[in-house]
Amino acid sequence: MKEYENTSCNLVPYIDKDFINDLSSRIDIIEIINKRVSLKKAGKDYKACCPFHNEKTPSFTVAPDKQIFHCFGCGESGSAIDFVIKHDHLDFVEAIETIANEAGLQVIYEKNSDSTYSKTQEYFEIMKEVSDFYSLQIRSKKYLPIISSYAKKRGLSGDVAKKFEIGYSSPEWDLLFEKFKDDEKSIARLVEMGLLIKREKKEGYYDRFRGRLMFPIHNFKGQVIAFGGRSIDEESQPKYLNSPETPLFSKSKELYGLYHARKYSRSIDNIIVVEGYMDVVSLHQHGVTNAVASLGTATTPQHIDILSKTSNNIVFCFDGDIAGKNAAWKALNIALPKIKAGLIIRFMFLPDGEDPDSIIRKESKAAFLKRVDNSITLSQFLFEHIKDTIDFNTIEGKTQFLEKAFDLIKTIEYDVYAKQILEGVANQVSQDVSKTEEMFRDFKVKNPIIFQPSESMTVIEKKSHPSNDSYKKLMGRMIQLVLNYPSIVTDNVEERVRGINNSSVLTDIIRSALLVENLTRDELIRPFKNQEQIFQRLQYLSKDLNPYLNEKQARNELLAAIDKCEKIQAKGQRSSFIRKKLEIEEQERIAEEIKKSKGI
């Protein structure tokens, strides 16, 4: 069985192997495929035009007696599971769950995860109820004028709103709470899902989302795992508000619209990555269904993994301004180590002041797709961006170009691609390829990149602390919390941490998180790359939190850890003061005895 790398929920258990082995004998391949492709009886078999390549004469055949399909045109063949994997753009486990659901079969999970599965189902059920609740609000006569005005302004149709299950959250502070207030279990689940927030000065809860257009965020099966809220009043801030991290949702591992792209695209020749969920909705409305968006965070390695499973051609679409170029550069840095055979990554920059939503409404679907076709390759963007930061026409500039390019190339794990980029670098500086390769080898020796952290590493801070290993463990834990949740730091946190002895590494990480929003873990630890031991330890600490903590829990634990460190430090300072005082008193006593012995 292929191991399931869950992208949305840390609580989903593994499927029982016997269930997978028996599934083929319990389903009808005709029923599964006919839901996706219109089959026609042809003797004992069924035929259709192949969904995997363009053809006019049907060559796609399904044999019910053998429970297999085969296309005599392109050669695709396999079982019902193989068909769903390719047609629905799913991985193996996703396909198993999808087929079982369509066949009305209850998926059997490993026995030791029954309680986990039950709790997960409760989360999904409450999120579905909330989504339905928001859908009712958008149809309310009370809010119809303001919603209709916004929809008209953005060109949002009723059909696309229905497709994406778009809803509305009332401006009232506690309408969602009022709906569930008599059900303690539901209230607890809503708090865990980040939809209700406990009041500080009085009893009760208030709604996280108020007065916003609500966009449900779905997992690969179409289950609601989180929400994105867009303010209708342009003066309300923030303009976009997403669900916090929960057991169902991690924004670094999710892409808005991926479920819809897989569902509504006949084939996904390329996947277009845009910056906002309104962009995704607008593109769908104009017939571009292969678009997804990140959720208020920069591109992550997990995003690249998910995208590459969907298509071998990824096109990042950014605004053409400085912020857009910087975001694209971050995406390039994240993507380079993920390049593999067959994967092509391109970048598309829109005119200043435009976004995918505005430009497709202003131009047309054909014009937008032409822009996609004219997008530049990753290597082209890499070279152009580095040149923009230096004076390339000087020897010093070309030296800088080589250093910056080498620093990126050494992160590429796919050797064939790394070699091609090196050849491109040689061409840029008009230098022999072999000479460039020799220079790169020397550069790697002097500037190694560390990939394998060890659990037996010593702690980051080598200097002695005012207490024992508990202090070191606290420091490591605080770093781990900040790397996982950079958003939990504040100016006050930075000021307190700076006052803790030997906290320079943590202080630098916090300062980076405060200066630039939505930095990934890799970006936060990259400044320490040349400090080998520290960098290795940071790589180890940047792993996912286990057990899982949501953002609020992580913030509370960080503040508690700071408190403990301050107390340990204060205790150490008091001990040091007492020790010094005793030493002075002892010295004075000895001096007095010497005086007496000498008769002074």
Dump pLDDT digits (tens) for 422-432. Answer: 999 999 999 99
Q: What is the DSSP letter of 221?
A: T
- pLDDT attached to residue 172: 93
**pLDDT, tens digit, 9 for 90 and up, residues 447-505:** 765 433 333 233 333 333 444 567 778 888 999 999 988 889 887 788 788 878 888 88
Annotate 84-147 with DSSP letters as a single string.
HHHHTT--HHHHHHHHHHHTTPPPPBPGGGHHHHHHHHHHHHHHHHHHHHHHHHHT-TTTHHHH
**pLDDT, tens digit, 9 for 90 and up, residues 259-275:** 999 888 877 889 999 99
Band of the pLDDT at 9, cuts 50, 70, 90?
very low
Q: Which CB contacts under 8 angstroms, 24+ apart, belong to 423-431?
A: 424/379, 424/383, 425/383, 425/401, 428/383, 428/401, 429/398, 429/401, 429/402
- pLDDT attached to residue 349: 97
- pLDDT attached to residue 572: 64
Token pair belonging to 101:
């659901």
- Give mean pLDDT, residues 233-248: 86
- pLDDT attached to residue 440: 93
For the full predicted model, state whether its pTM sits above 0.85: no
Q: Are 30 and 39 in contact (CB under 8 A)?
A: yes
Token pair belonging to 500:
């803790």
Percent of the chain's residues with pLDDT above 70: 87
**pLDDT, tens digit, 9 for 90 and up, residues 130-150:** 999 999 999 988 888 899 998
- pLDDT attached to residue 12: 43
- pLDDT attached to residue 595: 61
- pLDDT attached to residue 537: 86
Residue 516, class by beta-carbon neighbours within 10 Å (0-12 exposed, 13-18 middle, 19+ buried)? middle
Please report which helix (H) or strand (E) contains residue 292, including its range. strand 291-293
| CATH class held by domain 17-108 | alpha beta
Q: Are 466 and 573 in contact (CB under 8 A)?
A: yes
**pLDDT, tens digit, 9 for 90 and up, residues 10-66:** 444 567 778 888 888 889 899 899 988 989 999 889 999 998 888 889 999 999 888
State the chain's mean pLDDT as an integer: 85
pLDDT over 70 at 8, yes or no = no
Half-sphere exposure of 291 (CA within 13 A, CB side): 26
- pLDDT attached to residue 258: 93
- pLDDT attached to residue 518: 73
End-to-end CA distance of the chain: 91
| Contacts with 193 (C-beta within 8 Å, 6 or more apart), sequence order | 123, 126, 127, 130, 226, 243, 246, 248
Pairwise pLDDT comparison (233 vs 600), residue with the higher score: 233
Annotate 530-544 with DSSP letters as a single string.
TSHHHHHHHHHHTSP
Band of the pLDDT at 93, cuts 50, 70, 90?
confident
Pairwise pLDDT comparison (278 vs 236), residue with the higher score: 278
Helices and strands (H and E) in the chain: how many: 25, 16
**pLDDT, tens digit, 9 for 90 and up, residues 543-567:** 877 667 777 788 888 988 898 888 8
Annotate 553-598 with DSSP letters as a single string.
HHHHHHHHHHHHHHHHHHHHHHHHHHHHHHHHHHHHHHHHHHHHHT
Q: Are 344 and 300 in contact (CB under 8 A)?
A: no
Distances (CA, A) of 366 to 288, 291, 360, 473: 10, 15, 9, 57
For 164-173, 360-369, 512-521, which range has the lowest pLDDT when averaged over its residues?
Answer: 512-521
Widest CA span of the chain, in angstroms?
A: 126
- Nearest to 418, CA basis, from 406, 428, 430: 406
- pLDDT attached to residue 346: 98
**pLDDT, tens digit, 9 for 90 and up, residues 360-410:** 999 999 999 999 999 999 999 999 999 999 999 999 999 999 999 999 999
| Contacts with 2 (C-beta within 8 Å, 6 or more apart), sequence order | 91, 92, 93
| Contacts with 367 (C-beta within 8 Å, 6 or more apart), sequence order | 360
- pLDDT attached to residue 575: 53
- pLDDT attached to residue 70: 94
Q: Determine the Cα–Cα distance for residues 463 and 466; give it in Å rounded to an integer.
A: 10
Strand 313-319 versus strand 344-350 pairing type: parallel
- pLDDT attached to residue 87: 85
Dihedral of the alpha carbons of 167, 172, 177, 182, in degrees to the nearest 10: -120
Vertex 576: Cα angle to 575 and 577 (nearest 5): 90
Q: Into which CATH architecture does domain 453-600 fall?
A: Orthogonal Bundle (1.10)
- pLDDT attached to residue 269: 87
- pLDDT attached to residue 175: 95
| CATH class held by domain 111-249 | alpha beta
